[in-house]
Structure 1
Amino acid sequence: MPDTDSYDILIIGSGEAGKYLAWTMAAAGHRTAVIERGLIGGSCPNIACLPSKNIIHSAKVRSFTLRAAEFGVELESAVTSMHGVQARKRAMVDSLRQLHLDRYKASGAELIMGEARFVGERAVDVQLAGGGRRRISGEKVFLNLGTHATVPHVPGLVAARPMTHVELLDLERLPEHLIVMGGGYVGLEFAQAMRRFGAQVTVIEQGAQLAGREDPDVGAAVLQLFRDEGITVHLQTRVWSVEGRSGSAVRIVTDGSDGESVVEGTDLLVGVGRTPNTGGIGLERAGVKLTDSGYVAVDERLATTAANVWAMGECAGSPQFTHAAFDDFRIVHDNLTGGSSTTTDRLVPYCMFTDPELARVGLNESEAKRRGIGYRVLSLPMAAVLRTRTISEPRGFLKMLIAADGDEILGFTAFGAEASELMAAVQTAMVGRIPYTALQRAIYAHPTAAEGLTFLLRNPPTAPAD
């Protein structure tokens, strides 16, 4: 049996919550180790949030070149160079990785590259990336395992070698015709970006609308955006089988409202959900129980069923956003240092970085109706926000939900230019429990996106439409 190296803090996975906990606890004098099997800093800076938004912005720049004449600019060519797109993205990712390494060095936390597997309570064997093995135990253990893209059980799908967001983010060529399975955040962001680079794009969604968790008016607005940009969308359509090979030629057999049909393209992207990385690492030996869907079972303080073991981020079933994972870190750290923070009723914002953006915080109408919560509505087209006139981006709308029997802000949705920044202003008011009437008296700078709140709040809220 190998000797065991003991640490005060042992973290499995270096994602958002794990790395901040490691840096913070190590800087406070605790002997801390983080075991990471590949992506230093987790998915966000390497294969998810930041590189995807980097590429999405490159696509936005190209969309401006196609509209150059509208802005009084004459261009001879607007050809996409995917090599250039990737070079910009990789330079950013490389700098972020170095930033993480510098933070580990400065904090004193030990970063161990390898694959961990539990051999008992709070003890793991690590197959080191450079060869060899180590056995490591922790007085306190934290699981930051993350998730991976789900590839559903569809005949022929695995054999077709479809892309997930990971492969698409490294693509050095422009697909001739990209077929996207899934009308959620990942599928929609990449579908629009690839279309703007010049690819033909088809989206297949089995639900009744795009962005299925949002209100029907939001789904309809996103659908119209995609159709205006030349993206083909099939709603209420199920994929029955896949033939061919992504990157060459694929043939998708579908069943929709018009019966069986065939969609043919050159490349296939799967964006239908996430699966937790909880299998095959021996969690049962650590006494850690999972939920029926495979996530780590935790309480409101993110403690697992095993003593002195916590789970954070997506593997714990937290909302699949980096900002939610960072809040998980804050909750766990607060409880380790004598506090009592919990995940109960926390206000988590949602952002989809299509162009224009979709941003929401709190309840939407669908959720309020489902939960039987009475509300009133304030709405405004983005064209009424004067900032959108200056940048020629009038598409979209604002919508605020107000309590039926008071002035509390229940939720806010923005679909439009700079929506995520506008949402943050309303979120701040909601965190501070400021009534919407107080925002009516605020003076917002002109001409900013936030000035839209001035016009949104001018009229009294109305009862929702039936």
Structure 2
Amino acid sequence: MSQFDVTVIGSGPGGYVAALRCAQLGFKTALIEKYSTLGGTCLNVGCIPSKALLDSSEHFENAKHNFANHGIIINEPQADLARMVARKNEVVDQTTKGINFLMDKNKVTVFEGLGSFESATQVKVTKNDGSSEILETKYAIVATGSKPSTLPFITIDKERIITSTEALNLKEIPKHLVVIGGGVIGLELGSVYLRLGSQVTVVEYMDKIIPTMDGALSKELTKVLKKQGMKFMLSTGVQSVERNGDSVKITAKDKKGEEVSVEGDYVLVSVGRKPYTEGLGLEKAGVELDERGRVKVNDHLQTNVANIYAIGDVVKGAMLAHKAEEEGVFVAETLAGQKPHINYNLIPGVVYTWPEVAGVGKTEEQLKEEGAAYKVGSFPMRALGRSRASGDVDGLIKILADEKTDEVLGVHMIGARAADLIAEAVTAMEFRASAEDISRMSHAHPTYAEAIKEAALDATGKRAIHM
């Protein structure tokens, strides 16, 4: 029987990072993954492949619609979806092999098979050939992630009625892609096929898209995506999804309670994700789940069984790769007797449409609900020299600051490179910067980041220079 200090079940961003950090800290570490490649959903069928297709489709969009504005004249470009998917697969392959290299480098023992608890200190690895072995472990970290959710009356056939996993490997560009759910995943994959020539209709139960983000971002993104050609059916609850050959019909009720319908050749069901705990044998170890099927943990990410921890999508909180990574490091360092911290208020959220959308901290809706006294500063990307130079003039930066102390409470942005720009806001807020602090820092010119400074100036007394 093999013995380890720490056994990690699941090799997604949370799991593999936890394993690496444990190994760095001197623990004899095992990592169990049921699939043949490491990296979990994020690297294989999530973050990385979707961004690869988003970038490919964005290049096509620019070639078709924007090159001429820059004085670049080419023949009518053609979209080769098969080559885009092949490139996506190459990116995934390179990235997952990079994780294998890191495991070898840090002497983490990798087991391929299904990990399940036999007891609180014994984990069984069941391999694809049916054989198994038991690992004796002092600590265990559950990092099994999540899988796409669906609605009770929808049958995912993986052909015409699909999830994000199948949407990453389509053999043809849909004529009409209907997306059920106006959240991050649906909008990103909807954007991919919109750019490639599909008609895209988003059906959303709430009255706005990206409903958990600041309302200003939802409003602006809706406007921009409509301009790009995406259609929206908001405040619309899906009642049924029926396939007839190569056609799929969605029947729904609008906010007036009236029946509406839409037909497409593909339907992407993107209504969130649910924690993956099937087959883990948590009951054998005595680990408790909450009412939503998530593993119960305390503030130290420790389950009710003292030597077992859980991280990432399988526990409460935002289902984000970088949140899982932070939690993986947190648990490893906790086991080593260190005093790590995670500020969950400062885990940024990003939508990789174009323009990109990002936010961190409190939204204006949350501050209003809390009755907080705050002030708002904003700056339109259209007023920025760098935006005009690149042609990326859609979007804005919005900063929320405490009315009395001027401490930044939230930063929300939509615009070119917002996914990268949000790191400045996270850094500032980690050090509890004021809007004035940001406004007095030199920002290189011309850059997109200058819009953050301008928004901070606006928040400190409507002092924006270029607006």
Contact 1:300–1:344 (8 Å) recurs in 2: no
Distance 1:153 1:161, change over 3 A: farther
TM-fit CA distance, 1:345 = 4.8
Are 1:61 and 2:71 counterparts?
A: no
TM-fit CA distance, 1:126 = 2.1
CA distance in 1, matches of 2:206, 2:116: 38
Are 1:435 and 2:417 counterparts?
A: no
**Aligned residue number for residue 110 of structure 2:** 111
CA distance in 1, matches of 2:325, 2:100: 19
Flag structure 2 segments of 5+ consecutive residues without an equivalent.
Answer: 463-467
CA distance in 2, matches of 1:105, 1:327: 22
Distance 1:269 1:462, change over 3 A: farther
**Aligned residue number for residue 5 of structure 2:** 8
Counterpart of 2:453 in 1: which secondary structure? helix
**Aligned residue number for residue 209 of structure 1:** 208
Are 1:254 and 2:252 counterparts?
A: yes
Are 1:132 and 2:131 counterparts?
A: yes
Alignment of 1:335-346 (within 5 A): 335-343=334-342, 345-346=344-345
Write the deviation string for residues 249-286 of structure 1: whole angstroms up to 9, x where unpaired: 10111111351111111001111111100133211111
TM-fit CA distance, 1:183 = 0.2
CA distance in 2, matches of 1:449, 1:286: 51
Write the deviation string for residues 205-257 of structure 1: whole angstroms up to 9, x where unpaired: 010001111233322211111211111110011111111168x2101111113
Q: Give the AA of the match of 2:124.
A: D
**Aligned residue number for residue 465 of structure 2:** none
CA distance in 1, matches of 2:344, 2:316: 15
Distance 1:134 1:156, change over 3 A: closer
Determine which of 40, 47, 50 is the counterpart of 2:48.
50
Counterpart of 2:166 in 1: which secondary structure? helix
CA distance in 1, matches of 2:438, 2:142: 41
Distance 1:63 1:80, change over 3 A: same
CA distance in 2, matches of 1:32, 1:245: 51
Counterpart of 1:103 in 2: which secondary structure? helix
Write the deviation string for residues 133-160 of structure 1: whole angstroms up to 9, x where unpaired: 1122211111001000001112556698
Greater Cα offset, 396-405 or 101-110: 101-110
Q: Indicate the percent of aligned positions where both proteins have the same amino acid.
A: 31
CA distance in 1, matches of 2:123, 2:244: 39
TM-fit CA distance, 1:442 = 1.7
Distance 1:49 1:460, change over 3 A: closer
CA distance in 1, matches of 2:268, 2:53: 16
**Aligned residue number for residue 393 of structure 1:** 392
Greater Cα offset, 185-194 or 276-285: 276-285
Write the deviation string for residues 290-344 of structure 1: whole angstroms up to 9, x where unpaired: 1111111111110011121110111122421111111102211221122223445
**Aligned residue number for residue 321 of structure 1:** 320
Q: Give the AA of the match of 2:431.
A: G
The runs of at least 4 consecutive aligned structure 1 residues that moved more than 6 Å come to none
TM-fit CA distance, 1:30 = 2.9
Q: Give the AA of the match of 1:407.
A: D
Higher relative contact order (CA 8 A, sep 6+): 2
Distance 1:161 1:198, change over 3 A: closer
TM-fit CA distance, 1:46 = 0.9
Q: Give the AA of the match of 1:256.
A: D
Q: Give the AA of the match of 2:29.
A: T
Counterpart of 1:376 in 2: which secondary structure? strand
CA distance in 1, matches of 2:440, 2:160: 56
TM-fit CA distance, 1:424 = 1.6
CA distance in 2, matches of 1:215, 1:26: 39
Contact 2:156–2:162 (8 Å) recurs in 1: no
CA distance in 1, matches of 2:232, 2:42: 28
Greater Cα offset, 454-463 or 335-344: 454-463
Distance 1:156 1:32, change over 3 A: closer
CA distance in 2, matches of 1:76, 1:260: 45
Distance 1:344 1:91, change over 3 A: closer
CA distance in 1, matches of 2:356, 2:324: 22
Write the deviation string for residues 4-44 of structure 1: whole angstroms up to 9, x where unpaired: 43222111111112212222333444322111011412121
CA distance in 1, matches of 2:50, 2:412: 23
Contact 1:377–1:462 (8 Å) recurs in 2: no
CA distance in 1, matches of 2:142, 2:42: 17
Counterpart of 1:70 in 2: which secondary structure? helix
CA distance in 2, matches of 1:432, 1:406: 14
Are 1:311 and 2:310 counterparts?
A: yes
Flag structure 1 segments of 5+ consecutive residues without an equivalent.
Answer: none
**Aligned residue number for residue 30 of structure 2:** 33
Contact 1:157–1:241 (8 Å) recurs in 2: no
CA distance in 1, matches of 2:32, 2:459: 55
- What TM-score comes out, normalization by structure 2 length? 0.94
CA distance in 1, matches of 2:155, 2:325: 38
CA distance in 1, matches of 2:230, 2:410: 30
Distance 1:69 1:41, change over 3 A: same
TM-fit CA distance, 1:98 = 1.4
**Aligned residue number for residue 244 of structure 1:** 243
Alignment of 1:360-439 (within 5 A): 360-439=359-438
**Aligned residue number for residue 217 of structure 2:** 218
Alignment of 1:73-92 (within 5 A): 73-92=72-91
Q: Give the AA of the match of 1:232.
A: K
CA distance in 1, matches of 2:264, 2:41: 29
CA distance in 1, matches of 2:339, 2:24: 22
Distance 1:160 1:60, change over 3 A: closer
Write the deviation string for residues 98-144 of structure 1: whole angstroms up to 9, x where unpaired: 11111112221111111122222222322212441112221111100
Q: Give the AA of the match of 1:62.
A: F
Greater Cα offset, 280-289 or 21-30: 21-30
Distance 1:158 1:369, change over 3 A: farther
Distance 1:149 1:66, change over 3 A: same
Greater Cα offset, 77-86 or 277-286: 277-286
Distance 1:26 1:460, change over 3 A: closer
- What TM-score comes out, normalization by structure 1 length? 0.94
CA distance in 2, matches of 1:254, 1:218: 26
Counterpart of 2:449 in 1: which secondary structure? helix
Note the aligned Cα RMSD (angstroms).
Answer: 1.9
